[in-house]
Amino acid sequence: MSQPIIEIRNYSLNFWTFDGVYHALDDVNLTVEKGQSLGIVGETGCGKSVTVRNILGLLPSPPAEVVSGEILYDGKDLLKALPAEMHRIRGIEIAMIFQDPMTYLNPVFTVGRQLVDVVLAHNRARGQGEKISRKDAETRAIEMLNKVRLPNAEKQMSNYPHQLSGGMRQRVLIAMALIGRPKLLIADEPTTALDVTIQAQILELIAELVEELNLSVMMITHDLGVVAKSCDRVAVMYAGKVVETGTVAQVFDHPAHPYTQGLLRSIPHPEKNVSVLEGIPGFLPNLLDPPAGCRFAERCPRALDICRKVTPVGNPLAGGHVASCHLAEELEAASA
C-alpha cells in the first residue's frame, strides 16, 4: 500500500476580522499518497487555497488561528515545525505555484537574478554552505528554464518580468518551484490568469514535469475539466468543509453529494444544445456565523429537517469514496 506524503487531519482554522471570527475551515481531512495527484475543487471562497497555504506556513497568525488539527508531512506535523525547519522544507521538500505570475515575481529584479537567488537560498537551507558558485547557480537556472520550455532561456535570464508574456512568466514560476527538486508540488489555480490556449500548454507542461520528476501533487482549481484530465483523486470543498472525496471516476461518475452533483451539472457540454447553463442557486453561507447542521442546506434541493440540525459527517461509501451528506448512500446508488 502506498504511503501518504501529506495528511491533513481534523484541521480547523479561523480568521480574526474587524467583524468577528471568520470560521474559514472546519474539520478538514485530506490525504495525498506518494506519486498521487489530488485535485481540490469548489467555488471561490470555499477554502481551497486557505487549506493548502499553511502547509508552507504562509498564513500569518494573527489574523489566522489554527483551532485544531495537524498537517503531517512524512509523519511530521508542519503546524509545529520551527521556522528553521520550515525554511528547509519550503521549496526543497514542498513547492508551490501561485495563480498570478506577475504578482509573485519581483518586478525590479531580472528573471535570472530571482532564479539564482532561489538556487543559492536552497543550497544554504540544505546546509551545503558555499559549495555552489553563482556561475553554477546560473547554469542550473538556465537548465530549468529550458526544461519548462521557455524560448531563448539564456537570453530571458537578463529580462525583467514585465518583458515576458503571462504564459512565459508562469513558466518562470514553475521553474522556480521545481528548481529545488521538491517531492510535493502544490499548484494553486496555476492557469487562472492565463488565456485558454496558454492554459492548456501550462497544464500539459505541469503534467509532463510531474511524471518526469515523480512528484506528488495538490492541484487547486475551480475547473473540473482540469481535475478530470490531470488528477487521480478529487476533494470537493464547500464553505470551509470537504464534502466529498474519492477517485476522479467515483466522484465524477457517481457523485454522492448534492453540491458535487450541482457542480457537475453546471459544466457546459458542447454536444448538448442548451441556451442557459444550470447553476446552483443561492450563495455561500456567512462564515462569521456558520449555520447549524449542513452548511449547504440553504441551497440544497434535497434538504431535510435533520440537515438543518445535525452536521453530516464523512459517510464511507464503496472503495474509499466518502461524502458528508445524510443522503450519501441513496444519492450514490441513484447515480450508478
List residues binding ligand SF4 (CB under 6 A): 257-258, 294, 296-297, 300, 302-304, 307, 312, 325-327
Q: Minimum Å distance from CB 278 to ligand SF4? A: 17
How many residues are present in the chain? Answer: 336
Catalogue the E-assigned strands of 18-150.
20-33, 37-41, 64-73, 76-77, 94-97
Dihedral, 179, 248, 42, 4 alpha carbons, nearest 10: -50
Q: Minimum Å distance from CB 8 to ligand SF4? A: 22
Q: Minimum Å distance from CB 234 to ligand SF4? A: 17
Q: What kind and span of H or E run contains 265?
A: helix 258-265
Closest residue by Cα to residue 177 from 115, 113, 100, 106: 115
- Residue closer to ligand SF4, measured from CB, 277 or 310: 310
Cα separation, 322 vs 257, in Å, equals 9
Q: Quote the radius of gyration of the chain (alpha carbons, Å).
A: 21
Q: Minimum Å distance from CB 325 to ligand SF4? A: 3
Q: Minimum Å distance from CB 294 to ligand SF4? A: 3
Q: Minimum Å distance from CB 166 to ligand SF4? A: 38
Q: Minimum Å distance from CB 238 to ligand SF4? A: 9
- Residue closer to ligand SF4, measured from CB, 221 or 315: 315
- Residue closer to ligand SF4, measured from CB, 190 or 312: 312
Q: Minimum Å distance from CB 151 to ligand SF4? A: 48
- Residue closer to ligand SF4, measured from CB, 199 or 260: 260
- Residue closer to ligand SF4, measured from CB, 78 or 307: 307
- Residue closer to ligand SF4, measured from CB, 161 or 246: 246
- Antiparallel, parallel or unpaired: β 241-247 and 315-316: unpaired
Closest residue by Cα to residue 297 from 314, 316, 282, 277: 282
124-151 burial code (b ≥16 CB/10 A, e <16): ebeeeeeebeeeebbebbbebbebbebe
- Antiparallel, parallel or unpaired: β 37-41 and 233-238: parallel
- Residue closer to ligand SF4, measured from CB, 307 or 317: 307
What residue type is assigned to position 280 of the chain?
A: I
- Residue closer to ligand SF4, measured from CB, 15 or 296: 296
Q: How far is CA 42 from CA 107, 232, 262, 335, in A?
A: 31, 17, 11, 20
What residue type is assigned to position 98 of the chain?
A: F
